[in-house]
Structure 1
Amino acid sequence: MSDAQEFESDEGLEVLLGFLRDARGFDFTGYKRSTLGRRIRKRMAEVGARSYADYRDRLETDSGEFNTLFNTILINVTALFRDPDAWTFLQREVVPEIIAQREPDEEIRVWSAGCSSGEEAYSLAIMFAEALGIDEAVHRVKIYGTDVDEEALKEARSGLYPAKVLEALAPELRDKYFEQNGNRFGFRSDLRRRVIFGRHDITRDAPISRLDLLVCRNTLMYFNVEAQTQIVDRFHFALREGRFLFLGKAEMLLNDAERFDVVSMGQRVFRRRPGGGTPPYQPTTVKIRGGSGAELQTAARARQLRDLILDAVPSPTVSVDAEGLVILVNSAARVQFGLTNNDVGRPFQDLEISYRPVELRSLIEQATHERRTLRINGAERRVGEETQFLDVLIQPLVGANSLAAATSITFTDVTVPTNLKAEVKRVGEDLETAYEELQSTNEELETTNEELQSTNEELETTNEELQSTNEELETTNEELQSTNEELETMNDEMRVRTEELEETRAFLEGVLASVGAGVVVLDRELRVKSWNRGAVDLWGLRPDEVVDQPFFGLDFGLPTEPLREMVQKCLDTGKRGAPLYLAAVTRLGKTVTCAVLCSPFDGHNGGVVLLMEQSRNQGSG
Structure 2
Amino acid sequence: MGVAEPDPAFETLLVHLRDNRGFDFTGYKRSSLSRRVDRRMTQVRVDDYSEYLDYLEMHGEEFTALFNTILINVTGFFRDAEAWEFLRTHVLPGLLTGKGPHEPIRLWSAGCASGQEAYTLAMLLAELMGIAEFRERVKIYATDVDEEGLTQARHAAYDEREVRGVPPGLLERYFERHGQTYTFRKDLRRSVIFGRNDLVQDAPISRVDLLVCRNTLMYLTAETQARILTRFHFALTAEGALFLGKAEMLLSHGGLFAPVDLKHRVFRKVARVGSNGVALSADPLPVGPPAARSVEDRIRDEALLAGPVAQVVIAADGAVVMVNHQAEMLLGVSVRDKGRPFRDLDVSYRPLELRRSIEQAQADRRTVHAGDAVLHRGGEPLTLEVHVSPLVGRDSEVLGVTVVFNDVTEARRLQVELEATHRQLETAYEELQSTNEELETTNEELQSTVEELETTNEELQSTNEELETMNEELQSTNDELQAINDELQDRSAQVDEANAFLEAILTGMRAGVVVLAPDLAVRVWNQEAQDLWGLRPEETIGQHFLTLDIGLPLEQLAPMIRRALGGEPGPQELALPAVNRRGRRISVRVLGSPLANYDGRPGGVILMMEQDDRADGDEPSEPGGD
Indicate how the Cα distance of structure 1 residues 177 and 14 shifts in structure 2: closer, same or farther if over 3 A, else same. Answer: same
Greater Cα offset, 216-225 or 47-56? 47-56
- After superposition, the C-alpha distances for 1:117-172 in whole angstroms (9 at most, x for unaligned) are 00000000111111111110111110011001111111111011112222222211
Cα distance in 2 between the residues matched to 1:19 and 1:203: 16
Residues 580 and 595, structure 1, Cα contact 8 Å, conserved in 2: no
Cα distance in 2 between the residues matched to 1:277 and 1:558: 113
Aligned partner (choices 158, 161, 179) of residue 161 of structure 1:
158
CA displacement at 1:540 relative to structure 2: 6.5
Aligned to 1:215: 212
Residues 210 and 239, structure 1, Cα contact 8 Å, conserved in 2: yes
CA displacement at 1:489 relative to structure 2: 0.8
CA displacement at 1:275 relative to structure 2: 2.0
CA displacement at 1:10 relative to structure 2: 1.2
Indicate how the Cα distance of structure 1 residues 92 and 373 shifts in structure 2: closer, same or farther if over 3 A, else same. Answer: closer
Aligned to 2:614: none
Aligned partner (choices 52, 59, 77) of residue 55 of structure 1:
52
Aligned to 2:621: none
- After superposition, the C-alpha distances for 1:516-553 in whole angstroms (9 at most, x for unaligned) are 999xxxxxxxxxxxxxxx99xx9369xxxxxxxxxxxx
Could you say what secondary structure the match of 1:63 adopts? coil
Cα distance in 1 between the residues matched to 2:544 and 2:33: 71
Residues 144 and 197, structure 2, Cα contact 8 Å, conserved in 1: yes
CA displacement at 1:221 relative to structure 2: 0.1
Q: Which amino acid aligns with 2:246?
A: K
Q: Is 1:556–2:542 an aligned residue pair?
A: yes
Aligned to 2:78: 81
Aligned partner (choices 485, 488, 492) of residue 472 of structure 2:
492
Indicate how the Cα distance of structure 1 residues 502 and 591 shifts in structure 2: closer, same or farther if over 3 A, else same. Answer: farther
Q: Which amino acid aligns with 1:186?
A: T
Aligned to 1:142: 139
Residues 594 and 602, structure 2, Cα contact 8 Å, conserved in 1: no
Aligned to 1:106: 103
Indicate how the Cα distance of structure 1 residues 373 and 596 shifts in structure 2: closer, same or farther if over 3 A, else same. Answer: closer
Q: Which amino acid aligns with 2:523?
A: W
Aligned partner (choices 228, 239, 242) of residue 239 of structure 2:
242
CA displacement at 1:367 relative to structure 2: 6.6
Indicate how the Cα distance of structure 1 residues 466 and 126 shifts in structure 2: closer, same or farther if over 3 A, else same. Answer: closer
Residues 212 and 240, structure 1, Cα contact 8 Å, conserved in 2: yes
Aligned partner (choices 466, 469, 474) of residue 454 of structure 2:
474
Could you say what secondary structure the match of 1:161 adopts? strand
In the TM superposition, what are the counterparts of 1:565-580 in structure 2 within 5 Å? none
Indicate how the Cα distance of structure 1 residues 164 and 365 shifts in structure 2: closer, same or farther if over 3 A, else same. Answer: farther
Greater Cα offset, 255-264 or 88-97? 255-264
Could you say what secondary structure the match of 2:163 adopts? helix
Residues 580 and 597, structure 1, Cα contact 8 Å, conserved in 2: no
Task: Structure 2 unaligned segments of length 5 or more: list them.
Answer: 276-308, 311-329, 334-344, 371-387, 389-443, 500-516, 526-539, 546-563, 569-589, 611-626
Aligned to 1:43: 40
Could you say what secondary structure the match of 1:270 adopts? strand
Q: Which amino acid aligns with 2:542?
A: F
Larger Cα-atom Rg: 2
Residues 580 and 596, structure 1, Cα contact 8 Å, conserved in 2: no
Q: Which amino acid aligns with 2:125?
A: F
Indicate how the Cα distance of structure 1 residues 362 and 13 shifts in structure 2: closer, same or farther if over 3 A, else same. Answer: same
Indicate how the Cα distance of structure 1 residues 466 and 108 shifts in structure 2: closer, same or farther if over 3 A, else same. Answer: closer
- After superposition, the C-alpha distances for 1:68-118 in whole angstroms (9 at most, x for unaligned) are 111111001111111111111111111111111111111010000000000
In the TM superposition, what are the counterparts of 1:130-529 in structure 2 within 5 Å? 130-275=127-272, 354-356=347-349, 360=355, 362-363=358-359, 365-366=361-362, 370=366, 467-507=447-487
CA displacement at 1:557 relative to structure 2: 5.7
Q: Is 1:593–2:559 an aligned residue pair?
A: no
Could you say what secondary structure the match of 1:229 adopts? helix
Indicate how the Cα distance of structure 1 residues 371 and 82 shifts in structure 2: closer, same or farther if over 3 A, else same. Answer: same
Indicate how the Cα distance of structure 1 residues 592 and 226 shifts in structure 2: closer, same or farther if over 3 A, else same. Answer: farther
Q: Is 1:20–2:37 an aligned residue pair?
A: no
Could you say what secondary structure the match of 1:186 adopts? strand
- After superposition, the C-alpha distances for 1:585-610 in whole angstroms (9 at most, x for unaligned) are xxxx9976344689xxxxxxxxxxx9
CA displacement at 1:62 relative to structure 2: 2.1
Could you say what secondary structure the match of 1:539 adopts? strand
Cα distance in 2 between the residues matched to 1:496 and 1:220: 39
Residues 118 and 159, structure 1, Cα contact 8 Å, conserved in 2: yes
Indicate how the Cα distance of structure 1 residues 40 and 591 shifts in structure 2: closer, same or farther if over 3 A, else same. Answer: farther
Indicate how the Cα distance of structure 1 residues 42 and 615 shifts in structure 2: closer, same or farther if over 3 A, else same. Answer: same
Cα distance in 2 between the residues matched to 1:255 and 1:234: 16
Task: Structure 1 unaligned segments of length 5 or more: list them.
Answer: 279-322, 325-347, 375-393, 395-463, 519-533, 542-553, 560-578, 584-588, 599-609
Q: Which amino acid aligns with 2:149?
A: A
- After superposition, the C-alpha distances for 1:343-387 in whole angstroms (9 at most, x for unaligned) are xxxxx979986514985364465577648999xxxxxxxxxxxxx
Cα distance in 2 between the residues matched to 1:50 and 1:263: 48
Aligned to 1:550: none
Cα distance in 1 between the residues matched to 2:445 and 2:186: 46
Residues 592 and 620, structure 1, Cα contact 8 Å, conserved in 2: no
Cα distance in 2 between the residues matched to 1:555 and 1:168: 65
Could you say what secondary structure the match of 1:214 adopts? strand
Aligned partner (choices 66, 70, 83) of residue 69 of structure 1:
66
Larger relative contact order, structure 1 or 2 (CA cutoff 8 Å, min sep 6): 2
Indicate how the Cα distance of structure 1 residues 596 and 153 shifts in structure 2: closer, same or farther if over 3 A, else same. Answer: same
Q: Which amino acid aligns with 1:355?
A: S
Indicate how the Cα distance of structure 1 residues 74 and 593 shifts in structure 2: closer, same or farther if over 3 A, else same. Answer: same
Cα distance in 1 between the residues matched to 2:218 and 2:601: 70
Aligned partner (choices 519, 523, 532) of residue 539 of structure 1:
523
Cα distance in 2 between the residues matched to 1:245 and 1:465: 16
Identity %: 47
Indicate how the Cα distance of structure 1 residues 131 and 507 shifts in structure 2: closer, same or farther if over 3 A, else same. Answer: same
Q: Which amino acid aligns with 1:499?
A: D
TM-score by length of 2: 0.56
Q: Which amino acid aligns with 2:471?
A: N
Cα distance in 1 between the residues matched to 2:448 and 2:146: 25
Normalized per residue, which structure has more helix? 1
Residues 241 and 275, structure 1, Cα contact 8 Å, conserved in 2: no
Could you say what secondary structure the match of 2:183 adopts? strand
Cα distance in 2 between the residues matched to 1:223 and 1:141: 30
Residues 39 and 73, structure 1, Cα contact 8 Å, conserved in 2: yes
